[in-house]
Amino acid sequence: MITNTRGFLWSDLETRALLEIWGEADVQSALDGNFRNSHVYRDVACRLAELGFERTPEQCRIRIKGLKRQYYQARDGLKKNGHARKICKYYDEMDRILSCRDGPPPPPGPPPPLPPDGLAAEPAPPLPLPLTLPLPLGLPAGGPPTPGAPRQPDGDALDEDGELESPQDNFTEDSGECSSSYAEHPVKVECPPFAIPVPPADGFKEINTQTSTPPLSQPKRSKKRHTNLTLDKMMEKFLQQSVDTEEKFYKYEEQRLKIEDKRREAEHARELQMLQMLGQMLAGISSTVSQRSQSIPASPPQRANHRSYGDNFNYNAMTATLSPPIVIERSFSLHKTHSIKDMENIFQLVRNVIPPLAGKKHKGQDGRIGIIGGCQEYTGAPYFAAITALKVGADLSHVFCTKDAATVIKSYSPELIVHPVLDSPNAVHEVEKWLPRLHSIVIGPGLGRNDVLLENAKGIIEKSKVKGIPIVIDADGLWLISQQPSLIQGYQRAILTPNYMEFSRLYEAMLRDPVDSNDHHGCVLRLSQAMGNLTVVQKGERDLISDGEKVLVCSHEGSSRRCGGQGDLLSGSLGVLAHWAFLAGPEKTNGQNPFLVAAFGACSLTRQCNNQAFQKFGRSMTASDMVSEVGTAFNKLFET
């Protein structure tokens, strides 16, 4: 069943396309023939759709019907005041089409028969036939149509669909115009007196008797509406109402689209929430399976497959062959949707590697950390890394910087040991003398990209690799690695901490492909494998940690504030935790890679400091505010 299409607006271009199709000779012939009009309008709608206008046959029929009504009304108005084109916008097109459908005038009828010869034709008294009838549409005022005359496709004719057309309801089509103010009137039809021959006894005799019936009074014409308005004002009013109606329609459509967009956004948010809950469930299942596998004692073949991090580590003997990885994704957070059991699993490993405080220990036993960086332009970064290492629990913190930066860094804190040797000609030799006393080094904070400093950093990395010292590389140290990846490739005691831009630069340098934004886990895994299975920490909204075999996800709650220097807090704390995890051995880490455990602990600690400082200072939070929260954050995560 076709729904009522009144109220749908037609554009000027769409209407002219409809008239172009409807006015073709084959369409008009089909309408004049014995075809079903519904089939004709169905073909018209199909051809209109080919031009890009989607309309139903019923809509096309009603539109043509309305245009015909406007045309008939305009044609009558043309005889009176010449305002046809104001009433019917498409008067010329309709006149051209409908005038072609007019048939030839009816042939004159035969003359009336004459009376027989010799007989006088005397008219009988005429019979008056006054009739007052409503004039049927299609019947001309002069009398009934001549039999056999062709069909007149005029305004008084039947419409193609069998409905009676009336020019009086010209404006009833919902196309923006108002209804007509012309009322329907009964039409008085009087037959004039005529002679009826009556054969009398003495022959025909013409009798002409006039009717004595008085003529009927003419019916009063009903008052028109808007008698005080001219036609121009009426048309202007009609057009204004049409414009207002169209504006209301578009406003309603805009509101409907906005409501639809909000509904889709809400539905999308619900889907994301369901996916997050599903991911948490899967993470809990994988964590349970991992715990059960850890509770089973390892067999001798499994011990043989465990990677050793002893002092006799030989990185030069390692090949670039990459075995198929085993990906284990774990998400940990203090958010309520994550289980406390999942968090405790990884945090317990970090707690295991933290050395207990004891009175028998001497200075330097819990960690001596070296920071390689600091130049004239960047003095804050090495300070943040060094002071964070001390606040995490290292006993001594050395800073190897340029001569210009040494005085400034010393003025920041008296606890730091500052060596102004990084820009000297024998900088590598000067730092090498201190390497046996250091447990780990952090290369990159405040290093800069001066060729001399980068060359000295390269020499220090090579000397540290020979001695098997854990190396954390950050900031401009990662720039050096992206230019010369072989400098650190294959050294599994190295930890890289790139942000998004640094990660993209490293990934493209190693894999010759851009980063796949839809597969962050896979990209971190592949970069670690390409670098020789060393530990990579990709910093971001969620920190991704991988050693080429596993992927850990640290989504510990932080804040939306990203202040400069918090990456230096991460590298400084990671230098200390890497030494502790490496020193603890596989017994304390349940056979896990100690640098994975250290990286997760450093990421969680940095995020906790960020969260606590943001709660106090909000948008004005800086890296110095985060440094002051290191102690309380460390106690909250690992010692309570």
Determine the Cα–Cα distance for residues 142 and 120; give it in Å rounded to an integer. 30
500 is in an annotated binding site: yes
170 is in an annotated binding site: no
559 is in an annotated binding site: yes
- CB atoms under 10 Å from CB of 69, counted, come to 24
562 is in an annotated binding site: yes
166 is in an annotated binding site: no
Are 294 and 306 contacting, i.e. CB atoms less than 8 angstroms apart?
A: no
568 is in an annotated binding site: yes
Q: Give me the residues paired with residue 129 across strands.
A: 191
260 is in an annotated binding site: no
| Residue found by looking up tokens 């592949």 in the block | 526
52 is in an annotated binding site: no
564 is in an annotated binding site: yes
- CB atoms under 10 Å from CB of 518, counted, come to 7
Determine the Cα–Cα distance for residues 569 and 611; give it in Å rounded to an integer. 14
Nearest partner of 554 among 614, 525, 597, judged by Cα: 597
Are 468 and 438 contacting, i.e. CB atoms less than 8 angstroms apart?
A: no
77 is in an annotated binding site: no
* Cα atoms found within 13 Å of the Cα of residue 142, Cβ hemisphere only: 2
Residue 199's alpha-carbon distances to 120, 194, 219, 261, in angstroms, are: 9, 16, 40, 92
558 is in an annotated binding site: yes
462 is in an annotated binding site: no
Radius of gyration of the chain (CA): 49
* Cα atoms found within 13 Å of the Cα of residue 145, Cβ hemisphere only: 15
- Token pair recorded at residue 352: 């295991």
148 is in an annotated binding site: no
Determine the Cα–Cα distance for residues 336 and 593; give it in Å rounded to an integer. 28
432 is in an annotated binding site: no
540 is in an annotated binding site: yes
- Strand (E) or helix (H) holding 351: helix 340-353
501 is in an annotated binding site: yes
565 is in an annotated binding site: yes
560 is in an annotated binding site: yes
Determine the Cα–Cα distance for residues 591 and 611; give it in Å rounded to an integer. 31
16 is in an annotated binding site: no
Determine the Cα–Cα distance for residues 408 and 574; give it in Å rounded to an integer. 24
313 is in an annotated binding site: no
Phi, psi of 322 (to 5 degrees): -110, 125
Residue ranges for the binding site?
446, 499-505, 539-543, 558-568
Residue ranges for the binding site for (6S)-NADPHX?
446, 499-505, 568
Residue ranges for the binding site for ATP?
539-543, 558-567
